[in-house]
Structure 1
Amino acid sequence: MAWYDEDSWATAAFAPKGSTIAITFLLAVLLPILLHQFIYRKATPTTLPCFLLIGPSGAGKTAFLTLTERKAVAQTHTSTAPSAIEVLLPEDHTPQSSHYRSPGDPAYERSRRFLLNDTPGHGKLRHFATTQLANPTNVRGIIFVLDAATVAEEAGLNETAEYLHDVLLALQKRYTGATTSKGPKEIPVLIAANKMDLFTALPPHLVTQQLEKAISEVRKSRAKGLKDSGAALSGEEEGLDEEREWLGEGGEGSFEFGQMEEVGTSVTVHGGHVIRGDGADVRSWYEWIASHL
């Protein structure tokens, strides 16, 4: 039977029959719906993006978490265990991925949801943070909260710089230890200089300078400790170990946050304070979060 015969399938497909019209109508209506459902399920993330709250004890991490969750500051206590809470980006901030969406779009509302993971800042409990840094799952960024008044003093500055050094070094090792040439996805860092309302608090640019100087000293002292403890190692093994533990560019120069961009980590410093309770004084922190959602 030829295709042009009266009883052929080609003739039946284009003939003005009721069954042909019904099938064509169903395909025209159902195919776009099925295609949309398939693309939607593929594009919609199964887990929420996560931001890690890291920093010394008493810096204000839990207060910022409470403010984001409840839109008001409540009395907080020193954290002894990590806690992850689903929160919403404030309404006056638009996620980077949804600038083209209408506020009434359900996908827009979903894009405002994320997890804030608060980690304890006490020295004996920081393994909760370092464990997550070793294998970050769906982490969009790290918010390192510090007390801008504490870093004005030598003791507080040194403690903060040592912790921040370890966080940045963990991110550097993650990048340099990647098994693919493309490297892992970038995890940016926000240094949230909290308690800017205090008279003794340092402004953001001085916080940056002080931290860079202090981290340079931490880097030197760690390198000297490696040399002293590695006297029994061969020269090649000792050199490799020092390279893995050296933060930023090699050599004897000063450390700068810009050096971290070479290992897929951008570092931004923004000041603010949580105490007012309406979020107005941490607006730059929310803008940073929105830019990575």
Structure 2
Amino acid sequence: MAWSDPDSFATKAFGPYISTIIIATLVAFLLPTLVHFYLYRAKAPTSLPSFLVLGPSGSGKTSLVTLFESGKPSPTHISQAPSTVQVHLPSTTRAGSSQYRSENDPTLKQEKPLQLIDTPGHGKLRHYAREYLQDPPPGLKGIIFVIDAANVSSDSSSSANETLQDAAEYLHDILLLLQKRYTSAKTSKGPKELPVLIAANKLDLFTALPAPLLKGKLEQEISRVRDARAKGLMAAGMGEEGSEERDWLGEGGESKFEFRMMEEVNCPVKVVGGNVLGAEGSDVDGWWGWIAGWL
């Protein structure tokens, strides 16, 4: 049967037949819908956005996580293993991806879900946090490093110095790992931006250092940690010629370390104060605001 015959498929496909009109209508309406759902499933995230919570023991990590989860802090104990909880961004805090939406958009009133991954802070259990950073979850948006700002005062007491040194050593290792993540990338573009929030906790206490002073203290102590480890490597026979630049945190280890140096490796660092507990209640708006900015 030739294509020009009245009963041929080609003739009926372009002729004024009821079947042709019905099929054309179904294709016109169903095809865009099917394509939309296919693209949506292909592009939609398969997991919730997550933030890795870490820091020294006693800094208030788990209390922070329980506050974000239930709206009120609860008694906690020393964590022995990582735990993941689902929380919701408060409806009063706008996500960064929604900043250009209209105030009348009903979706703005919906609480945006996310995950917090709480990791142990004990020195022997910090490998959990490193493992998460070496193989990050697909939805990892940032890192929250909690520190007890009330126990890192400006005096020279041994306990304050030990707390500061422990926090600086832990933070140094995390930032160095993030730096290596960038410098060892196999593409010129590098990995995606992974910000770090240093949550200065317990600022409601009189002995707490304000966020700007804590920032300077941490930068100073991290510089000491970096220099001490560099001397240890050289003493072990690994001189400058045997060490790669990426083994030094910051700009080659030649100047005082500053958090701004991490911006060059797609890892902006910000210090924000707040408190989980307090006589007048908790103050975590600054931390929620930072989280919202990366959603």
Same-fold call, TM cutoff 0.5: yes
Q: Counterparts of 1:161-240 in structure 2 under 5 Å?
A: 161-229=168-236, 231=237, 236-237=241-242, 239-240=243-244
2:44 is equivalent to residue 37 of structure 1: no
Aligned counterpart, 2:156: none
Query: Deviations 1:204-227 (Å, cap 9, x if unpaired)?
Result: 110111111111111111101111
> Any runs of at least 4 consecutive aligned residues in structure 1 with deviations exceeding 2 A, and if so which?
1-16, 94-105, 233-237, 276-280
Aligned-residue RMSD, C-alpha: 2.5
Aligned counterpart, 1:271: 273
Query: Deviations 1:180-231 (Å, cap 9, x if unpaired)?
Result: 22211121100000111000111111011111111111111110111111x2
| Alpha-carbon spacing, 1:10–1:259, altered in 2? closer, same or farther (3 Å) | same
Among residues 287, 290, 293, which one is paired with 2:292 in the alignment? 290
| Alpha-carbon spacing, 1:94–1:279, altered in 2? closer, same or farther (3 Å) | farther
| Alpha-carbon spacing, 1:234–1:98, altered in 2? closer, same or farther (3 Å) | closer
Partners of 2:16 and 2:217 lie apart in 1 by 81
Q: Shift of residue 120 of structure 1?
A: 0.7
Partners of 1:283 and 1:165 lie apart in 2 by 26
Aligned counterpart, 1:15: 15
Aligned counterpart, 1:149: 150
1:272 alignment partner AA: G
Partners of 2:280 and 2:194 lie apart in 1 by 28
Whether the 8 Å CA contact 1:151–1:160 is kept in 2: the answer is: no
Partners of 1:227 and 1:149 lie apart in 2 by 36
Q: Shift of residue 28 of structure 1?
A: 2.2
| Alpha-carbon spacing, 1:234–1:72, altered in 2? closer, same or farther (3 Å) | closer
Aligned residues: 286
Q: Shift of residue 104 of structure 1?
A: 4.3
Please list every run of 5 or more consecutive structure 2 residues that lacks an aligned counterpart in the other structure: 154-159
Q: Shift of residue 75 of structure 1?
A: 1.1
Aligned counterpart, 2:84: 84
SS at match of 1:288: helix
Percent identity over paired residues: 54
Aligned counterpart, 2:95: 95
SS at match of 2:48: coil
| Alpha-carbon spacing, 1:188–1:235, altered in 2? closer, same or farther (3 Å) | closer
1:25 alignment partner AA: T
Bigger mean CA offset, 197-206 vs 3-12: 3-12
Aligned counterpart, 1:115: 115
What TM-score do the two structures reach when normalised by structure 1?
Answer: 0.89
Aligned counterpart, 1:54: 54
Among residues 242, 246, 252, which one is paired with 1:244 in the alignment? 246
What TM-score do the two structures reach when normalised by structure 2?
Answer: 0.88
Q: Shift of residue 67 of structure 1?
A: 0.8
Please list every run of 5 or more consecutive structure 1 residues that lacks an aligned counterpart in the other structure: none
